[in-house]
């Protein structure tokens, strides 16, 4: 019979994206708690979502991530965006938020890996290729987690505090029976393209264009790559088979501007990526010594470019709350954290509604009529 490995840690964070790693770094830098970070992938999976405002520097400074690295190794500057939203005429609207100053396109894979490495450098235990299967909480609110490592086999992890940072799937919350409040079924279907043309190489511009089906987004990434994504609803994707390259290309051909921007470029893969991009919120306040952060707490429509910034901010706030709760058993501040999340989400929903309301050309179409 194979041996079950056991591990003890003050805090266990499930999910090694920007939220999970930021929470881990924050705890390791500013508290004396022991931290374990569990990530199901082998750290080389495809990452999408890359546009951030310059305000990310406040967060990365707080987390001790060198600006030089961020600027020179993991990002390129974005020289603005052209948007055809609500009109066939171009506008320079960046997103539903009016960011001030410069914005950047991250190399997500490098950025996320750098954060994971920082967790390990600070003494955190990083467990990649590990899937948590069972979560049990005892009367003292301590957790025992059963997990499986691809090579090492079964593990049992004991912890005082559990953090769900598993992204939109919010896998831990789901296992605990927490239902998310889902506002829509937005899906991003896209591909990465590349070109050897100098024109494409230096065009650090984003483009947004609406069509009857939804909206298209293209952005230039580091390494001479452009990401092109169609955002539409799950039922529209299945009805029109937009997950098939031929149908997706036909939809692309019906755009007026995005098709021109991508001309002369070729796809890096024959397969399209398909990502949940829905807006949703989870309420974890019924549980003690458990919290969700990043997309597992609230996920935003990518038109907002709020995801990465929120993932990191919510993680830093949660880290302080976790430390407080572990050290001072009688304080109940999770409900305050949840109230703040609810307010943030309601204010986001109002802005989202106003933004989608600006597009009046296809009010009869399934996609747009659901959003006005």
Q: Which residues pair with 82 in a beta bridge?
A: 207
Quote the Cα angle for 205-208-214, to 5°.
155
- Pick 169 or 247: Cβ nearer ligand FAD: 169
- Give the contacts of 16 (CB within 8 A, at least 6 positions apart): 37, 38, 39, 41, 43, 112, 115, 116, 119, 126, 128, 165
Report the alpha-carbon distance of residue 48 to residue 272 in Å, rounded. 12
The nearer residue to ligand FAD, 18 or 214, going by C-beta atoms, is 18
Provide the minimum distance between the beta carbon of 186 and ligand FAD in the complex, in angstroms, as a whole number. 9
Tokens of 212: 């009857």
In this structure, what are the phi and psi dihedrals at residue 146, rounded to the nearest 5 degrees? -95, 130
- Tell me the closest approach of the beta carbon of residue 1 to ligand FAD, in angstroms: 25
Q: What secondary structure does DSSP assign to 124-150, as a single string?
A: -EEETTEEEEEEEE-TTS-EEEEEEET
Contact 303, 95 (CB under 8 A): yes
Closest contact distance (angstroms) between CB of 91 and ligand FAD is 18
Residues comprising the chain, all counted: 372
Residues that bind ligand FAD (CB under 6 A): 14-20, 38-41, 48-52, 131-132, 165-167, 169, 171, 188, 229, 275, 277, 294-296, 302, 305-309, 311
Closer to ligand FAD by CB, 154 or 361: give it. 154
Q: Is 268 helix (H, G, I), strand (E, B) or coil?
A: coil
| CA–CA gap between residue 1 and residue 163 (Å, rounded) | 31
89 vs 151, beta carbon nearer ligand FAD:
151
Question: With respect to ligand FAD, which residue has the nearer C-beta, 265 or 315?
Answer: 315
Q: Give the nearest distance from C-beta 312 to ligand FAD in angstroms.
A: 8
C-beta closer to ligand FAD: residue 96 or 265: 96
Q: CB count, 10 Å around CB of 55?
A: 13
Q: Which is nearer to ligand FAD, 31 or 173 (CB)?
A: 173
Taking the least distance from each CB to ligand FAD, the nearer of 275 and 289 is: 275
- Two structure tokens written together for 2: 């194979």
Residue 20's Cβ-count burial label (10 Å; 0-12, 13-18, 19+) is buried
Compute the distance between CA of residue 307 and CA of residue 188 in angstroms, rounded to an integer.
14
What is the smallest separation between the CB atom of 10 and ligand FAD, expressed in angstroms? Answer: 19
Least distance in Å: CB of 230 to ligand FAD? 10
What sections of the chain are H helices per DSSP?
18-30, 56-62, 67-72, 108-121, 171-175, 198-201, 234-240, 245-253, 258-261, 307-327, 334-357, 366-369
- The residues, any chain, with a CB within 8 Å of residue 333's CB and separated by 6 or more, are 321, 324, 325
Nearer to ligand FAD, 206 or 325 (CB): 206
Neighbour count for residue 95 (Cβ, 10 Å): 20
- The residue among 265 and 308 lying less far from ligand FAD, judged by its C-beta, is 308
Minimum CB separation of residue 305 from ligand FAD in Å reads 4
Shortest separation between residue 196's beta carbon and ligand FAD, angstroms = 25
């Amino acid at each position: 019979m194979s041996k079950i490995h056991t591990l003890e840690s003050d805090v266990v964070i499930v999910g090694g994206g920007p939220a999970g790693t930021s929470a881990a770094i924050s705890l390791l830098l500013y508290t004396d708690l022991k931290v374990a970070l569990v990530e199901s992938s082998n750290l080389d999976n495809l990452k999408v979502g890359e546009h951030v405002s310059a305000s990310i520097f406040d967060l990365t400074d707080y987390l001790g991530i060198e600006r030089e690295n961020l600027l020179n190794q993991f990002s390129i500057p974005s020289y603005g965006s052209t948007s055809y939203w609500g009109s066939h005429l171009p506008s320079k609207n960046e997103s539903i938020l009016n960011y001030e100053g410069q914005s950047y396109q991250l190399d997500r894979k490098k950025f996320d890996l750098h954060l994971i490495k920082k967790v390990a450098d600070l003494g955190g235990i990083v467990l990649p290729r590990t899937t948590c299967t069972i979560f049990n909480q005892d009367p003292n609110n301590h957790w025992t987690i059963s997990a499986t490592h691809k090579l090492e086999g079964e593990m049992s992890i004991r912890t005082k505090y559990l953090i769900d940072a598993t992204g939109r799937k919010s896998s831990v919350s789901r296992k605990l029976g927490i239902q998310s409040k889902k506002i829509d079924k937005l899906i991003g279907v896209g591909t990465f393209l590349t070109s050897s043309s100098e024109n494409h190489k230096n065009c650090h511009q984003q483009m947004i264009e609406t069509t009857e089906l939804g909206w298209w987004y293209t952005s230039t990434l580091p390494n001479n790559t452009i990401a092109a994504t169609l955002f539409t609803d799950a039922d529209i994707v299945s009805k029109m088979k937009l997950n098939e390259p031929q149908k997706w290309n036909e939809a692309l051909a019906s755009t007026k501007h995005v098709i021109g921007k991508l001309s002369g470029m070729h796809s890096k893969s024959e397969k399209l990526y398909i990502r949940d991009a829905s807006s949703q919120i989870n309420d974890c306040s019924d549980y003690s010594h458990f919290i969700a952060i990043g997309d597992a707490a609230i996920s935003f429509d990518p038109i907002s470019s709020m995801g990465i910034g929120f993932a990191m901010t919510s993680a830093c706030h949660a880290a302080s709350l976790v430390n407080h709760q572990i050290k001072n058993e009688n304080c109940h501040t999770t409900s305050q954290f949840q109230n703040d999340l609810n307010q943030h989400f309601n204010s986001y929903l109002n802005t989202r509604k106003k933004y989608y309301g600006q597009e009046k050309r296809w009010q009869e179409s399934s996609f747009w009529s659901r959003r006005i």
